[in-house]
Structure 1
Amino acid sequence: MSERPTSRRRYLKGAASVSAIGLTGCLGGGGGDYVDMRVGSSTQGSTVFQTSQAIQRVLREQSDSVRWDTQTTGGDPASTRIYDQGDLEAYGMTNYTVKNALNSQEPFEDEDLDVPYQGFTYFVRDDHFVALDGTGIETTDDLLGRDVYLLQPGWGTRQQFMDAMDEDPDLKEELTENVVNIDTGDVAGAAEEGRIEAILSYGANEVNLPTWMAETGARVDLHSVEVTDQFQDVFEQSNLVSYYEKDTYGYEQDVGDTFQGWNLLFQYFFDPDLSADAVYEVLEIAYEHYESVQEGQPAFFPYGEEPEHFVTAIESDFLPVHPGAADFYEDHDLWDDSWERGD
């Protein structure tokens, strides 16, 4: 079995990190002969959290050497900082947020943060707008000046959307004039009470919605919002998002036939101090037991049938790929020589 790796960062930062981990749970530590992976997983009800919980259950059933421990952190920026303090071994988020941390860009200005290695892609997010029936909102132009929910404050993907909207500062200013700033867990109630007129929603892997959005859809009537030319121009011109059009999915009501919006790619990143064997085992179990993971998260990719999903978000000229993931990709003919292998 793999021994828990010794982390230099844990010794250097362990004492200072206890207060931060109060957000996420107890300090990690292998009580037995296993590798403990505390995984930053945003907020309860998010797709990131749902996926991490499903992986955790299957790893505890199938692995006697890796302990995956889902940690709620409040969002990607928080996960990034908690990792830097030595209190996470992995996290799931977009490349965008990690790049901002790497380059000390918003919201990490004047911070010098450690970041982990690339690991594997776990979902493609389809962001789109929906509006409550009866609001008169039919297109994105109708959103201007209205009570719109643009994801939870503190989420990296909210920051990513705001940065993409910088392609048209005037449009961004009008859109955010009456933005509603609440946690995702409060969205359903706010919509039911009429405090929200439209929502930046999302689906995962063309399968389902996050828990918070499914609850909202169960309590109010919704319809998809058509993207107008000026918004489409923003999404097509920005290098932070990718514009798409596709059939609707995930809602238990008829919201219309088409989503128009932008895609975001998410992957798991792993601490360089984690052993190659431990990370390899995570990918191997995802590959061999994906159907078991899908029992808890139906949107989990069918890696055993389509292993190319593992590498959708892996980028060249970015961070090295964790050696455990690199070994797995080489063994399954997925490795690209343009990627850098981590030490």
Structure 2
Amino acid sequence: MPSTNRRSFITAIAGASTLSLAGCLGSSGSSTVRMGSSTQGSATFAATQALQSVVSDNADNVDISAQETSGSGAGNFRLYDNGEIDGGGFDNFAAAQAVDGTGSFADQPVDSVPYQGFFYVLPHTYLVSLPDSDIETTDDLSGKNVWLNPPGTSVRPPTNAVFENAGLYDQINPIDISRGSLAGAIEEGRIDAVVVYGANYKALPGWITELDTRFTLSAVTPTESFKQAIRDTSGVGYEEVSTYGWEQDIGADEIATWTIGAQFRFGDGVSTEAVQTIARIAYEQNESIIEANGLFPAYDNPSDMLAATLPDQPVHPGVAEFLKEEGEWDEELPIGEI
């Protein structure tokens, strides 16, 4: 298996432990895959529940057991490393830190990281400013009161990293309040700019649609140096997209964003056949999954499933085999070993 850092992705002991669990047969004779689904109400929980339901209706050889966990970041990586889950939802920023032994994993590293599968949420993150803030570009943020999202959310750590790489974090005044308190703070004039995001090329989250109806907002133009800071941030993607989801005109039809993708990942103990089946159902029954979870991404082509794939981490061979059959595999991506 291709190695991307000083530690192996999957240790022999952890792999054997996972294999003995992921290869167990359920009551129907199918292989059961335990997938960490984060907390109730989260995008990961909703996506995993929807996938579990549709796989149950359409697969003969595999079942998904969605298990509520503390989160799709470091928590799920530690559960996987301990052999408590076989896969599940994992965000890319935490994945990069898990592999590199940085951030949340600097003092407590993990030895085993599951292979990449396919994405289920891809937030496109950028800034909007309030009237009278005099903020037009990211160069104007210095000295301003900027809301970066709450510290406990998955959006915040990678956003902090982008601002740090851009040399802006120490120049702004980060405002640490909850999403529920944000509108009130804006009304009181305590916020100059807000980090917002659209999800899966489809819609804005509910808390942002509330801002859309209550306040006049303008897109903040990223400078070239800020764009480069996004590209230089490990575990964060760069994409220029339309400013979808807004009812008002925010002054830009397209904008450069930092993406914080989350993927379903599967360990080396989950067979190629099982993951190939899950991937095929996720694509062929995509509309059924969306009926169960409206925010789930639309896979118009099989290659869309790799929209949040990190180029330096292995993809599960089951996903690779499915995409090869469809003629959509990217030969530049590494494939993990079973």
Q: TM-score range by the shorter chain?
A: 0.7 to 0.9
CA distance in 1, matches of 2:45, 2:129: 25
Pick the aligned partner of 2:129 from 119, 128, 131.
131
**Is the CA contact 1:311–1:334 (under 8 Å) kept in the aligned structure 2?**
no
**Is the CA contact 1:74–1:155 (under 8 Å) kept in the aligned structure 2?**
no
Find the counterpart in structure 2 of residue 326 from structure 1. 320
Pick the aligned partner of 2:160 from 159, 162, 167.
162
CA distance in 2, matches of 1:323, 1:329: 10
Structure 2 residue matching 1:324: 3-state secondary structure: helix
Please report the TM-score for the alignment, with normalisation by the length of structure 2. 0.76
Deviation of the 1:306 alpha carbon: 0.9
Structure 2 residue matching 1:107: 3-state secondary structure: helix
Post-superposition Cα deviations, 1:73-132, rounded to whole Å, max 9, x if no partner, equal 345123322333333332334434212112211121122312111112334432111234
Structure 1 residues 244 and 327, CA gap change in structure 2 (3 angstroms) = closer
Pick the aligned partner of 2:151 from 150, 153, 160.
153
Find the counterpart in structure 1 of residue 278 from structure 2. 282
Post-superposition Cα deviations, 1:185-228, rounded to whole Å, max 9, x if no partner, equal 65456556655443211112321123443344345443322334
1:8 corresponds to 2:14: no
Structure 2 residue matching 1:174: 3-state secondary structure: coil
Find the counterpart in structure 1 of residue 306 from structure 2. 311
1:107 corresponds to 2:104: yes
**Is the CA contact 2:145–2:175 (under 8 Å) kept in the aligned structure 1?**
yes
Deviation of the 1:270 alpha carbon: 1.1
Find the counterpart in structure 2 of residue 88 from structure 1. 85
* Structure 2 unaligned blocks of 5 or more: 1-14
1:291 corresponds to 2:291: no
Post-superposition Cα deviations, 1:233-259, rounded to whole Å, max 9, x if no partner, equal 533555664554443211233333334
**Is the CA contact 2:40–2:46 (under 8 Å) kept in the aligned structure 1?**
no
Please report the TM-score for the alignment, with normalisation by the length of structure 1. 0.75
CA distance in 2, matches of 1:229, 1:314: 24
CA distance in 2, matches of 1:228, 1:295: 39
Post-superposition Cα deviations, 1:13-33, rounded to whole Å, max 9, x if no partner, equal xxxxxxxxxxxxxxxx99744
Deviation of the 1:302 alpha carbon: 3.5
CA distance in 1, matches of 2:199, 2:119: 12
Which letter maps to 1:179?
P
Deviation of the 1:315 alpha carbon: 4.6
Structure 2 residue matching 1:201: 3-state secondary structure: strand
Structure 1 residues 85 and 212, CA gap change in structure 2 (3 angstroms) = farther
CA distance in 2, matches of 1:185, 1:85: 35
CA distance in 2, matches of 1:193, 1:79: 38
**Is the CA contact 1:30–1:36 (under 8 Å) kept in the aligned structure 2?**
no
Which has the bigger relative contact order, CA under 8 A and spacing at least 6?
2
CA distance in 2, matches of 1:192, 1:296: 36
Structure 1 residues 144 and 317, CA gap change in structure 2 (3 angstroms) = closer
Identical-residue share of aligned pairs (%): 33
Structure 2 residue matching 1:129: 3-state secondary structure: strand
Structure 2 residue matching 1:172: 3-state secondary structure: coil
Which letter maps to 2:98?
A
* Structure 1 unaligned blocks of 5 or more: 1-5, 13-28
Pick the aligned partner of 1:225 from 220, 231, 246.
220
Pick the aligned partner of 1:117 from 115, 136, 144.
115
CA distance in 2, matches of 1:216, 1:83: 38
Structure 1 residues 98 and 53, CA gap change in structure 2 (3 angstroms) = same
**Is the CA contact 1:75–1:155 (under 8 Å) kept in the aligned structure 2?**
no
Moved more, 48-57 or 111-120: 48-57
**Is the CA contact 1:130–1:200 (under 8 Å) kept in the aligned structure 2?**
yes
